[in-house]
Amino acid sequence: MIVVSIAGLTKTFPKGNVTALQEIDLQIEPGEFVSLIGPSGCGKSTMLRLIGDLTPPSSGTVEVNGKSAHQARLDHDYGMVFQDSVLFDWRTVAKNIALPLEMLGWARAKRKQRVDEMLNLVELLGFGDHHPWQLSGGMQMRVAIARALSFEPALLLMDEPFGALDEMTRERLNIELLEIWRRMSSTIVFVTHSISEAVFLSTRVVVMSPRPGRIAGTVDIDLPQPRSADTREDPRFFEKVTEVRELLRGVGADEHGSVLAEETA
């Protein structure tokens, strides 16, 4: 069954008369890791929000797991991770992870068990009693990921989750994310600014163009799995990066001279 099915999706913001997305068609199969990449204003974050029913479409349809996006949200079909980890200061790490479980009405014992499993998954066992401000940025992001996965949604929506982290932490978390993706057999839709990150993580990269937001092209990443630090040095990796970059170059410079996010080597 198709996980995400988008047809003819258009989103305009009346304020400022902005067409964030125009006539988007996209299908995402189970188990895929799809990255959305593009210059500022291409609507990638908006698209993620539309999938999550955090904002309504102006026209067109968004379906998740065969239902409307709205129903999917009510049925808790997906987990979401933001760039700012959005952890609650007044809860311990363990209680932060348990938040969605509490909302779903899980029993205390079941919650505790699942939280321990999650802490193990993101390698934060022993930090359950800490508070978010006692952890580093990378660890906070891992908590956010653990929270998003705690109720085992089949779909994970991630909006530039590693954008605020340094390069080393970022690369490490990339590998960890792939590990989690494999273990939980999830489908992931991932918004990012970084070409190398998109190519490294995904099975498919969707390149978007701005004003109005459209899909400019798609690059299938058929690099072997499981991917590791070595993958980044594979010549085929560079080919794919170049392919994505060429597509972006085609949409990146417009008459206003907007600039792509620069790549660090």
Contact residues for other proteins, defined by CB under 8 A: 52, 54, 73-76, 78-80, 82, 84-91, 99-100, 102-104, 126, 129-137, 140-141, 164-165
Our CB check for other proteins shows the closer of 129 and 167 to be 129
d(CA 29, CA 31): 6
Distance of CA 25 to the CA centre of its chain: 18
Q: How far is the CB of 212 from other proteins (least distance, A)?
A: 24
Q: What is the DSSP letter of 132?
A: G
Our CB check for other proteins shows the closer of 132 and 210 to be 132
For 84, list phi and psi in degrees, rounded to 5: -85, 120
**Closest Cα to residue 160, out of 11, 25, 49, 10?**
49
Our CB check for other proteins shows the closer of 194 and 209 to be 194
**Apex 100 CA angle, 68 and 6, nearest 5:** 20
Q: How far is the CB of 243 from other proteins (least distance, A)?
A: 32
Render the burial of 165-187: b for 16+ CB within 10 Å, e for the rest: beeebbbebbbbbbebbeeeebb
Give the three-class secondary structure for 89. coil
Q: How far is the CB of 155 from other proteins (least distance, A)?
A: 11
Q: What token pair was written down for 87?
A: 């952890």
Our CB check for other proteins shows the closer of 165 and 207 to be 165
Q: How far is the CB of 226 from other proteins (least distance, A)?
A: 27
d(CA 146, CA 40): 28
Our CB check for other proteins shows the closer of 95 and 211 to be 95
Our CB check for other proteins shows the closer of 82 and 238 to be 82
Q: What token pair was written down for 230?
A: 């070595």
Q: How far is the CB of 132 from other proteins (least distance, A)?
A: 4
Q: How far is the CB of 90 from other proteins (least distance, A)?
A: 5
Our CB check for other proteins shows the closer of 156 and 221 to be 156
Q: How far is the CB of 72 from other proteins (least distance, A)?
A: 10
For 34, list phi and psi in degrees, rounded to 5: -110, 125
Give the three-class secondary structure for 257. coil
**Closest Cα to residue 201, out of 2, 36, 46, 30?**
36
| Pairing, β 4-13 against β 78-81 | unpaired
